[in-house]
Amino acid sequence: MNIKQNIKTLIVEKPLKLDCGQTINNFPLAYETYGSLNNEKDNAILVFHALTGDQFVTGINPVTKKDGWWSYAVGSGKSIDTDKYFVICANVIGGCMGSFGPSHENPKTKKIYGTDFPVITINDMVNAQINLLDFFGIKKLFSVVGGSMGGMQVLQFISNYPDKAKTAIPIACTSSHSAQNIAFNELGRQAIAADHNWSDGDYNSKNIVPDKGLAVARMAAHITYLSKKGLQEKFGRKLQERDDLKFGFDADFQIESYLRYQGSVFVDRFDANSYLYITRAMDYFDLVKQFNGNLSDAFKNTKAKFFIISFTSDWLYPTQENKDIVIALNAVGANVGFVEIESDKGHDSFLLNVPDFLKALKNFLDKSYAEKNS
Amino acid sequence: MKPEYKIISDLIEKDAKVLDVGCDDGTLMEFLKTNKNANIRGIEISKEKVQICIAKGLTVIEGNAEFDLKQFPNDSFEYVVLGQTLQAFINPETVIRELLRVGNKAIVTIPNFGHWKVRLNLLFKGTMPITNSLPHDWYNTPNIHMCTIKDFVRFSKIINFKIFKSLALINENVSDINNSNLIFKNLFGELGIFLIEK
């Protein structure tokens, strides 16, 4: 599969010192843009993707041939209106859609990095992406937006670059990965490691893929993105193309079949080692600890206007964890709005057609953008 | 727009930092933004109302004043406004203390349960009063701690806060409340408006 031809890449020449101590330079950062940058260069929105997302936010993803992961929210006339805003999204470093990641060749050994790739953090991801501003000649973004791990990047971005964005929208996220979050990620990583094909990360040289392990990781994670009520309403105990139980271990239930399908399509588009690296970056994310226990200090130098959004049925990054960010922002007198959206679609709500969410996002952006001219 | 909004606005200095507690659909916030150039934030319990505020470009936090005011540091605002909701809280004393911790000054408005219509309603009908400003039945009212203008004045002495200015709204006219006319205002005032300090 030659995916490279559809991928725009910025080669970041400037050395980037990673949290793990290593320094990287001349590394590729794959990105995509939508809409156009205006003359004032003040209509740019940097979107950060979540764990398994990529730079292809909307429209048809040229690699998977499916709709972009945020097609509901981003596009002409949509919440993040590409007729109005210039949307930039980069594949995170550690990822597998063209940015510097574990499936790249190590120039020193001429072998695929695999687990020799340096462990990266949310901080590293953000510090890599800041280079896009210089590349496009943007002094200040109109907004930084992201859900889940994308939201963590929003928080880290503002903390690192307090005057580089006018508004910030962290959605369904947390300032510090909880034990439960880490536990689910570890489950996924262990599923991959338990697949014999994984070969301690060296599967590329053997031309095999730990697809079974990666599929199980995806299945487990997928459950955490949905709510019990949502699952019950969609699947209940409905059977899969059969009238009765078969007294075996085939997928009797629709939910089983659905999860298997989710697992199988995921392995076609995602690299197992990237999954390890990115989940690790999420687990290491602890903005509270970065600021010695006082999250407010992360935001004390910013004038950015925040809008924080959570969902009622999200038990992975529950409302309270989002509210903790609101509280920290209020403690330093930051400009922050907050709403919890009613939805039974779980953590995935931010990716789906949830009209109240899409409306709030659009209204916040459009009103904030109008303010600059008033 | 509620008639008291203009009165509340007159109590607030220009360019002040203001928190509207229970900001509803943001009408007062917009009014203060336009007329007083206020740096204004809101807190509102209803998701629908929060959405309306966002659509107006207002900075609002969804939350419950009884529990969520504690996130604001001391003296975060010059004014904190609490419009006609004190009676709906489980613990009005805590709320008043929180208002005065978070703000230098607070503006509290209360629907007056001592109004003559309320009194007559109870006296002659013998049922819980239902009026324009108190439209609920006893079993579905959010108002669990009704008080009169006189009660609020007494309350200030009991829990020890200063009433800097007190006004009564009668037929959309505003008048001062003082010691000598308190009995009269408590009978005819539909709404009490109080500017209070620690």
Range of the domain at A121: 4-177+288-371
What digits encode the pLDDT tens for the residues B134-151?
Answer: 889 999 999 999 999 999
Indicate which of A341, A357, A363 best probes the interface with B, i.e. most B CBs within 10 Å of its own CB.
A363
Domain check: are A26 and A133 in the same one? yes
Domain check: are A201 and A266 in the same one? yes
Give the Å distances, CA to CA, from B34 to B49, B108, B119: 20, 21, 39
Cβ-based neighbours of A110, under 8 Å, separated by 6 or more = none
CATH number of the domain within which A200 lies: 1.10.1740.110
Instruction: Name which of B51, B61, B71 is nearest A359 (Cβ-Cβ).
Output: B51
Look up residue A225 and give its two tokens.
């993105």
- In which band, very low, low, confident or very high, does the pLDDT at B131 lie, cut at 50, 70 and 90? confident
- Which of A245, A279, A313 terminates a domain? The answer is A279
Compute the distance between CA of residue A68 and CA of residue A97 in angstroms, rounded to an integer: 13
Q: Within 10 A of A115 (CB to CB), how many other CB atoms are there?
A: 13
Instruction: Name which of B57, B62, B76 is nearest A333 (Cβ-Cβ).
Output: B76
Domain check: are A154 and A189 in the same one? no
For chain A, the residue count is: 374
Instruction: Name which of B51, B62, B71 is nearest A331 (Cβ-Cβ).
Output: B71
Compute the distance between CA of residue B19 and CA of residue B81 in angstroms, rounded to an integer: 6
Domain check: are A36 and A127 in the same one? yes
Domain check: are A82 and A173 in the same one? yes
Q: How far is B137 from chain A (nearest CA, A)?
A: 29
| pTM score over 0.90 | yes
DSSP state, A253? Answer: B
What digits encode the pLDDT tens for the residues B24-82?
Answer: 999 999 999 999 999 999 999 999 999 999 999 999 999 998 999 999 999 999 999 99
Domain check: are A246 and A197 in the same one? yes
Q: For residue A1, what pLDDT is reported?
A: 42
Tell me whether strands A23-24 and A16-17 are parallel, antiparallel or unpaired.
antiparallel
Look up residue B154 and give its two tokens.
């007494």
Q: How far is CA A224 from the centre of its chain?
A: 15
Contact present, A126 and A118 (Cβ < 8 Å): no
Residue in chain B closest to A305 (alpha carbons) equals B59
Domain check: are A260 and A297 in the same one? no
Q: Buried b vs exposed e over A324-356: b needs ≥16 C-beta within 10 Å?
A: bbbbbbbbbbbbbbbbbbebbbbbbbbbeebeb
Cβ-based neighbours of A317, under 8 Å, separated by 6 or more = A148, A151, A172, A173, A174, A181, A310, A347
- Active site (catalytic) residues of A: 148, 314, 347
CATH number of the domain within which A61 lies: 3.40.50.1820
Domain check: are A26 and A47 in the same one? yes
With tokens 């962290």, the residue in question is: A170
Q: How far is CA B177 from the centre of its chain?
A: 16
**Considering all CA atoms of chain A, what is the largest pairwise distance in Å, rounded to the nearest integer?**
68
Each residue's pLDDT, cut to its tens digit, for chain A (374 residues) gives 445 677 999 999 999 999 999 999 999 999 999 999 999 999 999 999 999 999 999 999 999 999 999 999 999 999 999 999 999 999 999 999 999 999 999 999 999 999 999 999 999 999 999 999 999 999 999 999 999 999 999 999 999 999 999 999 999 999 999 999 999 999 999 999 999 999 999 999 999 999 999 999 999 999 999 999 999 999 999 999 999 999 999 999 999 999 999 999 999 999 999 999 999 999 999 999 999 999 999 999 999 999 999 999 999 999 999 999 999 999 999 999 999 999 999 999 999 999 999 999 999 999 999 987 55
Q: For residue B1, what pLDDT is reported?
A: 85
Indicate which of A297, A305, A320, A339 best probes the interface with B, i.e. most B CBs within 10 Å of its own CB.
A339
Q: Within 10 A of B27 (CB to CB), how many other CB atoms are there?
A: 16
**Hey, is A195 helix, strand or coil?**
coil
Strand partners, B108: B82, B194
With tokens 């209020």, the residue in question is: A330
Strand partners, B109: B83, B193
Compute the distance between CA of residue B101 and CA of residue B84 in angstroms, rounded to an integer: 19
- Overall number of domains in chain A: 2
Instruction: Name which of B47, B55, B71 is nearest A363 (Cβ-Cβ).
Output: B55
Q: How far is B45 from chain A (nearest CA, A)?
A: 10
Q: How far is A359 from chain B (nearest CA, A)?
A: 8
Chains A and B form CB pairs within 8 A to the count of 57
Q: Closest by alpha carbon to B189, among B156, B163, B153?
A: B153
- Which of A256, A279, A302 terminates a domain? The answer is A279
| Virtual torsion, Cα A173, A174, A180, A182, nearest 10 deg | 90
Look up residue A46 and give its two tokens.
């940097």
- At A189, which helix (H) or strand (E)? helix A179-194
Domain check: are A194 and A263 in the same one? yes
Look up residue A26 and give its two tokens.
């001349």
- Which of A279, A302, A328 terminates a domain? The answer is A279
Rg (C-alpha) for chain B, rounded Å, is 16
Domain check: are A40 and A143 in the same one? yes
Domain check: are A251 and A336 in the same one? no
**Considering all CA atoms of chain B, what is the largest pairwise distance in Å, rounded to the nearest integer?**
49
Residue in chain B closest to A306 (alpha carbons) equals B59
Give the Å distances, CA to CA, from A311 to A162, A270, A322: 26, 27, 9
Compute the distance between CA of residue B115 and CA of residue A64 in angstroms, rounded to an integer: 70
- At A360, which helix (H) or strand (E)? helix A355-371
Q: How far is A339 from chain B (nearest CA, A)?
A: 5
Q: Domains of chain B (ranges plus CATH)? A: 4-197 (3.40.50.150)
Domain check: are A349 and A235 in the same one? no
